Chain A
């Protein structure tokens, strides 16, 4: 080894150390910023997850409540990615025990990512006004027509009975309406509680209101239907909500709760239905054979301040058979019992209480 190499101090090591330190500082700074950004993104994502969990918990609660909840009823619902704490508070208890109770349902979603730890990573509270619906309907007559009725004379059979076909409830009048042409020829075959035919029973609005059907709420989305079309041949008693007019022809059968916001126009060979029919406008019983076992109401648009046309009972061989049947009425209304969200009354970022 030469003296030159032995005595010269090198600078490679300090240079390398300096460069490594410099790169380490730069890398650490960069990583720190990326980590901060990821944390912000993660927090935002978990808040979104908590929101979804809160909504899921709310819907699961409302769909699963079997009986009317007590004030302050609370439950924890576990869902994928966390859990929701749901609390129901009564806001209004009407004196009429059959009327709907108003609730406020609050759901706090808590998001937990087990890869990060057991500490909640996101929390969000939403709330929803909801009504406990009893699914009850006032049975004032087998055929209630707030819009009046025009009966055309002819060789038709018109049978409207107010006696309960399943024998569970007292008999009710056959017809209740504001106006009726008459006397029809041939005469009506009516059975039930007197007076069998109540015409001139009040204004259309009065008769519509006395049904206790909250028609504005029904039209405004207060009922969530199973279908938005008429279910021909369906015997499962679904809720069918048709917006506008409904025309049914041919040979038709159906069941459940049939709601038509416009007119119900029947034609063809026969129409047979089991359950409850609620119509905003008129009904034209224009089928050759019209039969309903349950309850029928028309002219409910009177509640909206509209003036629907009169219901038509056609003559000329178009038979009409209406039978009050409490069992089929109850079966048709059974799906309505439960907590139903009040449309357009949803709250975000609500206080926990």
Chain B
């Protein structure tokens, strides 16, 4: 039995057809690959920005008068409440039920008590020396403990009249600085006491803090000379993807800019 071979013309036509189809398919695959790569990079950038927002907003919202103690475009230092309560007489106080994990891990930097005007006075020398089961000193002032609350003893007596609202605070510095995990990139750092941790990266160099100033909450990119006039912060979280998506020369970016009003602040 004889088999017929392919003619040169048939072979050439087949090659051309396969070439056209192959090129089209390759372009399709490359385009699709780049699209997927860009989308993945966008997802990474978005997740970085969003995670940054979630971790910072809840803490900053509770800042009170005198709670912002240093501010720059790339960093802020704030006193963040982690437990609220009411002072009793002598060295006793009752705390409303705090978040147990936060309370256990907090690094206390001091106590702030509320003046009748609504402003707070800060005392960084006082410490919590322990807890007490005794209710005498508080009930004598008609102060009750909420179920789940904690009765504590302080290192100083009679900081303010019994019945005064107070909170225990941590001093936290948020800073955009060079990343240790991703060299050459920027990260959001969080310092509490002596512990400095990189909580999120990578961010673009455009990531920074802006400041809401005055009763109209006007946005300023540089902090005013008087920090007392700052009523809140704008977080400009410009997240980046870990890598550079194919077909691009720079990492993908995603910007979130939540504005956080300090709720426990006397509006001026």
A residues lining the B interface (CB < 8 Å): 2-4, 26, 30, 33-34, 37, 40-41, 44, 47, 71, 89-95, 102, 104, 127, 129, 214, 216-217, 219-222, 342-351, 353
Q: How far is the CA of A129 from the CA of B120 in the complex (A)?
A: 15
Q: Are B143 and A91 in contact (CB under 8 A)?
A: yes
Q: Are B142 and A220 in contact (CB under 8 A)?
A: no
Min distance, Cβ B231 to any Cβ of chain A, angstroms: 12
Kindly list chain B residues whose C-beta atoms are within 8 Å of the C-beta of A348: 58, 61-62, 263
Residue in contact with B146 in the complex, picked from A44, A91, A95, CB distance below 8 Å: A91
Q: Are B50 and A344 in contact (CB under 8 A)?
A: no
Is B223 an interface position by the 8 A CB rule? no
With A343-B266, A344-B264, A347-B62 in contact, is A220–B47 under 8 Å at CB? no
Kindly list chain A residues whose C-beta atoms are within 8 Å of the C-beta of B120: 344
Residue in contact with B115 in the complex, picked from A30, A41, A216, A349, CB distance below 8 Å: A216
Nearest 7 A/B pairs, CB to CB: A216-B116, A220-B117, A220-B118, A353-B148, A344-B264, A343-B118, A353-B97
Kindly list chain B residues whose C-beta atoms are within 8 Å of the C-beta of A92: 86, 141-144, 163
Min distance, Cβ B105 to any Cβ of chain A, angstroms: 14
Min distance, Cβ B237 to any Cβ of chain A, angstroms: 13
Kindly list chain B residues whose C-beta atoms are within 8 Å of the C-beta of A30: 36, 39
Q: Which of B4, B62, B142 has the most CB atoms of chain A within a 10 A radius of its CB?
A: B142
Q: How far is the CA of A89 from the CA of B95 in the complex (A)?
A: 13
Q: How far is the CA of A90 from the CA of B138 in the complex (A)?
A: 13
Q: Would you list which residues of chain B between 243 and 268 have a CB under 8 Å from chain A?
A: 263-267
Residue in contact with B58 in the complex, picked from A37, A40, A220, A349, CB distance below 8 Å: A349
Q: How far is the CA of A92 from the CA of B141 in the complex (A)?
A: 8
Q: Which of B54, B144, B148 has the most CB atoms of chain A within a 10 A radius of its CB?
A: B144
Size of the B side of the interface (Cβ < 8 Å), in residues, is: 48
Q: How far is the CA of A70 from the CA of B65 in the complex (A)?
A: 32
Residue contacts A-B, CB under 8 angstroms, 16 given: A26-B32, A26-B36, A89-B147, A92-B143, A104-B96, A127-B84, A129-B84, A216-B117, A219-B117, A221-B267, A342-B165, A344-B65, A347-B96, A348-B263, A350-B96, A351-B99
Residue in contact with A34 in the complex, picked from B32, B39, B62, CB distance below 8 Å: B39
Q: Are B39 and A345 in contact (CB under 8 A)?
A: no
Residue in contact with A353 in the complex, picked from B4, B47, B141, B146, CB distance below 8 Å: B146
Q: How far is the CA of A353 from the CA of B119 in the complex (A)?
A: 28
Q: Are A344 and B64 in contact (CB under 8 A)?
A: yes
Min distance, Cβ B34 to any Cβ of chain A, angstroms: 13
Q: How far is the CA of A129 from the CA of B267 in the complex (A)?
A: 18
Kindly list chain B residues whose C-beta atoms are within 8 Å of the C-beta of A95: 142
Q: How far is the CA of A343 from the CA of B59 in the complex (A)?
A: 18
Min distance, Cβ B29 to any Cβ of chain A, angstroms: 9
Q: How far is the CA of A348 from the CA of B54 in the complex (A)?
A: 13
Kindly list chain A residues whose C-beta atoms are within 8 Å of the C-beta of B239: none
Q: Chain B: which residue is nearest A347 at the CB level?
A: B84
With A89-B146, A216-B115 in contact, is A346–B264 under 8 Å at CB? yes
Q: Are B50 and A102 in contact (CB under 8 A)?
A: no
Q: Are B96 and A127 in contact (CB under 8 A)?
A: yes
Is B194 an interface position by the 8 A CB rule? no
Q: How far is the CA of A89 from the CA of B117 in the complex (A)?
A: 24
Q: Chain B: which residue is nearest A44 at the CB level?
A: B50
Q: Would you list which residues of chain B between 156 and 202 have a CB under 8 Å from chain A?
A: 163, 165
Is B1 an interface position by the 8 A CB rule? yes
Q: Are A93 and B39 in contact (CB under 8 A)?
A: no
Q: Known A-B contacts: A344-B266, A347-B81. Give 20 more (CB < 8 A).
A: A30-B36, A91-B86, A91-B94, A93-B142, A94-B163, A104-B146, A214-B116, A216-B115, A216-B116, A216-B117, A217-B117, A220-B115, A220-B118, A221-B118, A221-B267, A346-B264, A347-B96, A348-B263, A351-B99, A353-B146
Residue in contact with B43 in the complex, picked from A33, A90, A353, CB distance below 8 Å: A33
